[in-house]
Amino acid sequence: MTKRLVVALVIALLISGLFTYFLSRRVAKAARLKGPQQQFCVAAAKPLDAGQTLTAQDLQLVEWHAAGPLSEGFSKIEAVVGRVVLYPLPKDEPIIERQLAAAGFGAGLTSKIPVGMRAISVRSDEVMGVAGFLLPGTHVDVLMTYRSNASPDPQTVTVLQDVVVLTAGQQIHPDPAGKPVTVNVVTLLLKPEDAEKTALAASLGGMYFVLRNGNDSAQANPSPMGLAQLTGSGTFLSGSLPKATRPPERAKPSQYEVETYLGNKRVVNDFK
């Protein structure tokens, strides 16, 4: 009786082992036919502005169809909530680490400065600020007018090109209605070496900002502009002082006269 039970147990184990083996083969085959495991990444649920602090309502999970996970991406919404966006992002754009300020930073100006960049404030006025249309996010060229010891005539040079305006006054975001804003200080986003150029230019002369298309990143090579280039001939402008001229020399006499007095008598002798 015991022998029969042992045989039955061995047979049952063999059958269950074979069944488990074939079942695992079928499951593995079905997984291969189905393809890679479905992946999700965190993306923007609506258009996001630079400097915006992310909330759960701003985010969504979207399917990621690539073979591998998204580089620097996030798979959980909780990992992104509370972070600050550095750049404007469209709806459904996957969010990655380099698009966000470092964890713990607030929504102030420092959160909008990418790593390796600098922010410098430059004085402006209504005219220099392009009549109030110098708004956060606009692109400008920076010009400087100065006088040097070599020439008293003023010259204007282009110091920087395609510079992003970070703030206008204390406004980080442009007016939603696009209204012009008069400010006397603008903050520019620059590389460290360009920040040095700007500081030097501000100490030498007046600075002016020229608006440009945000999609135009071409670098021109303009020559410095002086009075000679402005008039096209090198002549003086109307109302300017002419160069001083030397007075004509007096003609030398053609002969010499010698006066001699003998008592009260005067004698004049001419010599050629």
Residue 4 confidence (pLDDT):
74
117-159 per-position pLDDT tens digit: 898 888 865 445 466 677 888 898 988 888 877 777 888 888 8
Handedness of CA 91, 95, 98, 103 (dihedral sign): positive
What pLDDT is stored for residue 192 in this prediction? Answer: 93
Instruction: Enumerate residue ranges in the chain where pLDDT < 70.
Output: 1, 29-37, 67-68, 102-108, 111, 124-132, 170-178, 180, 233-265, 267-272
pLDDT given at position 145: 86
Provide CATH code, domain 36-113. 3.90.1210.10
Residues of the chain with CATH 3.90.1210.10: 36-113
User: Is 255 buried (19+), middle (13-18) or exposed (0-12) by CB count in 10 A?
Assistant: exposed
The reported pLDDT for the residue numbered 204 is 82
Residue 151, pLDDT score: 72
To the question of pTM greater than 0.75 for the whole model, the response is no
How does DSSP assign 53-72, residue by residue? BP-GGGEEEEEE-SSSPPTT
